[in-house]
Amino acid sequence: MAAGKDIKAATETYNGFVKVTAWSTGIVILIVAFVVALIAQ
C-alpha cells in the first residue's frame, strides 16, 4: 500500500487508469457494433 505522500500519486494513477479503461470499453463496444453490422449485411 502507498503511505503518506505517495497516496496522492497512487490515487491519481488509479483515476487515470479508470478513465482509460472506461474510454477503451466504449471504443471496443463501438467497434464490435460496427463489425456486427458489417457481418449482418
Q: Which of 25, 1, 21 is nearest to 11 (CA)?
A: 1
Q: How does pLDDT run across 5-21, given as a tens digit for each residue?
A: 788 888 999 999 999 99
- DSSP code of 4? T
Q: What's this model's pTM, rounded to 2 decimal places?
A: 0.66
- Note the pLDDT of residue 26: 96
The dihedral over CA atoms of 12, 16, 17, 18, expressed in degrees to the nearest 10, equals 100
